[in-house]
A and B are shown apart, each in its own frame.
Chain A
Amino acid sequence: IVLTQSPATLSSSPGERVTLSCRTSENVLTYLAWYQHKPGQAPRLLIYDASNRATGVPARFSGSGSGTDFTLTISSLEPEDFAVYYCQQRINWPPLTFGGGTRVEIK
């Protein structure tokens, strides 16, 4: 299953609302996760099964969608949110597959 994330890069300012997209080549129901990855750090699980926040993830992060279209929304960007975000499907594996990532950078 191929995951396509858009945009590849998103330039925003702290306090803004941002929406990241992930489209899958096949129906994955709601078996989609989102991760945040900063350089030199371990990736971090944000959202699992499309809309469930992982333990300790701030409420400004939310996920939605089902089937082939999914969205990760950050309601108000904080300075620590500038990172690369990946989606991942788990309905049809192996292999488990990730999207190509969206880089959220400071405008």
Chain B
Amino acid sequence: EVQLVESGGGLVQPGGSLKISCAGSGFTFGTYWMDWVRQAPGKGLEWVANIKSDGSAEHYVDSVKGRFTISRDNTKSSVFLQMNSLRVEDTAIYYCARESREGQFFDQWGRGALVTVSS
């Protein structure tokens, strides 16, 4: 069974940093692009970033460029999101998602990690 499990969420002050993780199992992790998608309270889904299967390419939504960094460790079947200079508007549930082999849509999702940015 394919599983994606996020961890590392929590409360952080504005301007602070946090790193969240996602552990994959039940599939050949190192052959898939992986993404982070977030949902702010009362809002819809927003794509945040993705990373190529071998880690050689990454892309970001403009609102997090220069502040967030996506990375992966295929030996540990894990993908990470390092979040710096956090803002109140970054408060959201952050979902880890696997891209399909057939294109940039998401065929597996985790249950999410809550990140709260507040003083």
A interface residues, Cβ below 8 angstroms from B: 31, 33, 35, 37, 40-45, 48-49, 54, 84, 86, 88, 90, 93-101
Whether A54 and B107, one on each chain, are in contact in the complex, defined by CB atoms closer than 8 angstroms, is yes
Name the residue on A nearest B106 (C-beta): A45
B45 within 8 A of A: yes
What's the least CB distance linking A6 to chain B, in Å? 13
| A-B CB proximity, top 5 nearest | A42-B109, A90-B104, A33-B105, A96-B47, A94-B59
Main secondary structure of the interface of A (DSSP, over half): loop
Known contacts A93-B59, A95-B61, A95-B62: A45-B107 contact under CB 8 Å: yes
Work out how many contacts link A and B, with CB atoms closer than 8 A. Answer: 66
Which residues of chain B come closer than 8 Å to A88, judged between CB atoms? 45, 105-106
B interface residues, Cβ below 8 angstroms from A: 4, 35, 37, 44-47, 50, 59-62, 95, 97, 100, 102-107, 109-112
Known contacts A48-B103, A54-B107: A43-B44 contact under CB 8 Å: no
Q: A48-B107, A94-B60, A96-B104 are in contact. List 9 more A-B contacts (CB 8 A).
A: A31-B103, A44-B109, A45-B106, A49-B102, A54-B107, A88-B106, A94-B47, A95-B59, A99-B44
How many Å lie between the Cα of A94 and that of B63 in the bound state?
A: 12
